Amino acid sequence: MTNKIVYRKCVVSKEIINRVELIRIVKTPSGVILIQKDEKHIPGRGVYIKKDKNIILEGQKRDVLSRALRAKVDKQIYIDLLAMC
């Protein structure tokens, strides 16, 4: 069996990219914002952002994650995202 290549859209750059090059950020049903760090699926509203410092900084400046997740995203989430690049 061959592994399919799965594509998702970056919420900041709007590029359609291979999922392995993206980080998934999730708002759980209880309202907690989490970064999905492994392949284990976290249920909830999820968005993807490219693993690129410039993209993450642009997303922080424009507050893209808060709008996409429909919740206030803490500054610590962006710090954690930058550390993952």
- The CATH number of the domain holding residue 40 is 3.30.1230.10
pLDDT band with cut points at 50, 70 and 90 for residue 1 = low
Q: What is the pLDDT of residue 3?
A: 80
Do residues 53 and 82 make contact, with C-beta atoms less than 8 angstroms apart?
A: yes
Mean pLDDT value of segment 57-68: 96
Domain that holds residue 30: 7-84
Domain assignment present for 78 = yes
CA 81 – CA 79 distance, rounded (Å): 5
pTM score of the predicted model: 0.91
Instruction: Show Cβ contacts of residue 59 under 8 Å, excluding neighbours closer than 6 positions.
Output: 11, 12, 49, 65, 78
Domain assignment present for 1 = no
Do residues 12 and 58 make contact, with C-beta atoms less than 8 angstroms apart?
A: yes
Domain assignment present for 2 = no
